Structure 1
Amino acid sequence: MNRILIKNAKIVNEGTIFEGDVLIEDDLIVEIAESISAKSSQCKIIDAEGNYLIPGAIDDQVHFREPGLTYKGDIESESKAAIAGGITSYIEQPNTVPNAVTQEILEEKYQIAAEKSYANYSFMMGATNDNLEEVLKTNPKNVAGIKIFLGSSTGNMLVDNEATLEKIFSSTPMLIAVHCEDETTIKNNLEKYKEEFGEDVPVTVHHLIRSEEACYISSSKAIALAKKTGARLHIFHLSTAKEMDLFTNKIPLEDKKITAEVCIHHLWFTNDDYATKGNLIKWNPAVKTANDRKVLWEALLDDRIDVIATDHAPHTLEEKKLPYLKAPSGGPLVQHAVVAMFEAYHQGKISIEKIVEKMCHNPAKIFKIEKRGFIKEGYYADLVIINSGLPWSVKKENILSKCGWSPFEGFTFKSRITHTFVNGQLVYTAFKVKEIRAGKRLLFDR
């Protein structure tokens, strides 16, 4: 039996922080108490020394690039980066190559992850204009949800047929996650800036091309359709102040039919950073203004926004160095997301309890993930120890994503993850990932 005792931790769970011990047996948490004694010499003891013990973060939106785009990243490399960053479970998106738009292709991704993933995994089923029959075959017990791109993406994944969209919304009982940007608005804005700059459009206008209006038009339509059909809607990577008026904090999360996510980059960067970071912070939806960032923070703290995620989407540095119009959108974030939020804690922007609520508890609740996202007896031992006073700098040599770069390169974080456990296995310690593929397929209580 695998038996590990974590002692003297500041345990963060369900809005409280208390000092105590946690006992792990095999893959489960079996006891949580103020003091637990090791009843066997076979029990490995880890002294957390007053550091924070949090549930492993659950990232509800990543792009790990396998199959088909593995020169950018793959399930092995990116799941390693995730556990080094305190993310023990991830939900990956369908715009790989081929797109995961049939049950057969979707299941192939699960088979790859079963062999290669260091973290727990689930994969979204992708919707297109013409695969409703396949979408409706999706098993709600072992697939996270349905993903719809309402803005352009890889391959044939833009769903722009309104009749098809309404059929998907009204036919599936599963959670529908959406990327909301209005394609017509973006195309019109792009033409305007091409007229001004020719082919040499600067990245500094990215947020004006993929504009506030493009986001609001699309997200407001998706919400109206969800209300009309009764669909369970989750809106990914919100980026504008205007969209925050579409969400409510008046009802408990468990009763919400429409939920919202914000990503690390929209909480961290603003359009002023394009001048120094360039295409490294080119994302879709775009990083927008300081006011947008301010209002996103307000909505996160007052519970209009329910989840913090990454939208981790690596590209090679060579691709990112291309001119703006040719450089792809997206960047690596899983390794630095939790410590970035702890940085915000040090800045007085958010409590540690609220970080855990938005990165651990709420993703588990929204997706109805079985026995994860909390530090509770009987739950899987997905746990992370964080030293909030152990500074470290992001450098090329300590970046684990295959792409080998980070928008945080050169930044010194005040906090560092010292231990990560996945299903009771100590998979990250001494700032190194162990060669233990402990990840399991996520199951859903629905």
Structure 2
Amino acid sequence: MISVGRRFAAALTSGIAVAGTVYVATGLAFFTSNGAAAENLPAIAEYFLPMALVLFVTYSIVSALEIHRYWFTAAVVGLVLGMVSAIAGTALGIIATGAELNAEAFTFIVATLLGTNLIFVVVTIIAAVTVGRRVWNALTVVPAQPTQLIALVRAPSSQLGEGELTHLDRVPVDAELADSQWEGYVAALRANGFETIEVPAADELADSVFIEDTVVVFGEVAVLTSPGAESREAEIEAVRVSVTELGLELHEITQPGTLDGGDVLKVGSTVYVGRGGRTNAEGIRQLRAIVSPLGYSLIAVPVEKVLHLKSGVTALPDGTVIGYPDLVDNIDLYDRFLAVPEAEGAAVVVLSDDAVLMSSSAPKTAALIADLGYRVVTVDVSEFEKMEGCVTCLSVRIR
């Protein structure tokens, strides 16, 4: 967003640039068309000065309102302001001579639009489309900065082992080892260019480390989810605060809709959403209504064999969907599918165009992906895998 001071300065500068250009160009046109006689200069300068002053004021106002943003609106602005300035400026010139501004004078003023002042109107249109817009953009458009990689993370609860389970039998979880593995995971993100932002930990929320389920990000738009497990509903509020502080446009899935972020797989402009135990039809409908205007196509995918869609499939940087066939319900739904040899290898986090992060529990899959020309970073997340988690669950990546 442009600050008020910057907008004001840019508007005034644009006004000066347009009015000055029109004043000089129109004056020179009349000077040369009248034989370039030096004695004519004062009269020409005096005649067009009131018009230029009116143009400066009106164009500055238009600039501040950004009505001239597009070339065609700038052309309309030039036409309207050229005529207004020519009429008002000529009227001021007549008043300055002490003459009465009556019906006859007004008829004369209007007639000048097809005669003496026509060149002023034409030059104003050209200047508004070219000079005005270029000066405005030069003063207001901030050069694009390199894309900043951000990852939201949340430290594990000491009660991680008491979290929700759907497809796996419960086994003991080593909380201290989970803490150590989480720190290694965060360190791997940082080592690969991500700035990590920690959402405040919540020890009373056993599954809160799986932050991916709470929010899905589409460019500058963040969609807060509606967890399918009632025990996880309280995870949303702290994430809402962090997302708001990042300045993202906020949307939200509301009851009776349910949606877990682990069920959302983005592949280019296609969004696959798992319809399973945690995400229902209403949640998918609400997400479709949010992302369709953003240019995304949403494809609903039935999920029965795993907790979340991304427990069974994820995608490589080139868009190839990978998965462990025994855990994939509908392989034919994906345009390009690559089978991997280990269940733990189905989940990868895209770090860059040529690098992925994955679990060290899947060495055969790591070798397969490396053989495709990718740099593979592995981390130990075994304690989270006991709770049906994976590398994608532990962060929300924002690009």
- TM-score tier by shorter-chain length is under 0.3
Give the structure with the higher percent strand. Answer: 1
TM superposition score normalised by structure 1: 0.23
Q: Which is greater in Rg? A: 2
Give the structure with the higher percent helix. Answer: 2
**Relative contact order: is structure 1 or structure 2 higher (C-alpha 8 Å, sep ≥ 6)?**
1
